[in-house]
Amino acid sequence: MVTEQEKQAMLKAMNAMNNSELPVTNSYSKEKLTKTHANPDVDAMLKILENFHSATDLATNKILSEDNIKDTIHKKQDSITVKGLYEIKIEKEFWNKKKNKNYYSIFNHTGDCVFENVALFESAMFIIKNLIKEQYTEAKRIYKLDQDYIKHLRDMRFAKKGDSHIMEAKYSDAKYKMLEVKEQLKNCLFE
């Protein structure tokens, strides 16, 4: 919380920056920004700030007009449509009392299933990104890695049920392989 003494210190600093004796208010109008000061450095800094605000406003408007996210992704309860070209259908698999596993199947605009039972949502989105760019081999590679990931995750789940040292070793091995595949998937995102 700001104390009254700190508020007064801030007001004094603002007055010094504005080269005025008037109390500073919380509302800043465009009129105050274009005020000329005795010190030319203040006017130069003011010009830089105005240019910065202008550039950021232009960039923001350009991005919003180029790619409106609301028009790109539509979410329903059990599916997500991306650019009207692909649809991700979400299917739940019951694992235990605490966890369910979501799987994602990707359908093209004609309703044909392109990839089935994708384990990670990130993989599904990355596959769609590659399909839109027409990089089909990359999409297949992501799918294969994703399927390796779920294979190792299932192996972990199975090995966790056992109490022997062999099952514990299988669990550790599956976990290591699963994390290795997950790292490969992350690397695909940054290539």
Does residue 132 share a domain with residue 94? yes
Does residue 79 share a domain with residue 61? no
Supply the pLDDT for residue 43.
73
Does residue 22 share a domain with residue 42? yes
Q: How far apart are the first and last CA of the chain?
A: 46
| 49: Cβ contacts below 8 Å, ≥ 6 apart | 33
Residue ending a domain, among 66, 86, 114, is: 66
Does residue 106 share a domain with residue 25? no
The number of folded domains in the chain is: 2
Which range is most confident: 52-66, 89-103, 141-155?
Answer: 141-155
> For 10-28, what is each residue's pLDDT tens digit?
666 656 555 555 444 444 4
Does residue 145 share a domain with residue 92? yes
Does residue 165 share a domain with residue 76? yes
> What pTM value is reported for the model?
0.59
> For 114-168, what is each residue's pLDDT tens digit?
999 999 988 998 999 899 889 999 999 999 999 999 999 888 888 877 778 888 8
Distance (Å, whole) CA 21 – CA 55: 32
Secondary structure, 3-state, the chain: CCCHHHHHHHHHHHHHHHCCCCCCCCCCCHHHHCCCCCCHHHHHHHHHHHHHHHHHHHHHHHHHHHCCHHHHEEECCCEEEECCCEEEEEEEEECCCCCEEEEEEEEECCCCEEEEEECCHHHHHHHHHHHHCCCHHHHHHHHHHHHHHHHHHHHHHHHHCCCCHHHHHHHHHHHHHHHHHHHHHHHHHHC
Does residue 125 share a domain with residue 41? no
Supply the pLDDT for residue 88.
92
Where in the sequence is the domain holding 21, given as residue range(s)? 4-66
Does residue 48 share a domain with residue 103? no
Q: How many CB atoms are closer than 10 A to CB 124? A: 26
Phi, psi of 128 (to 5 degrees): -65, -40
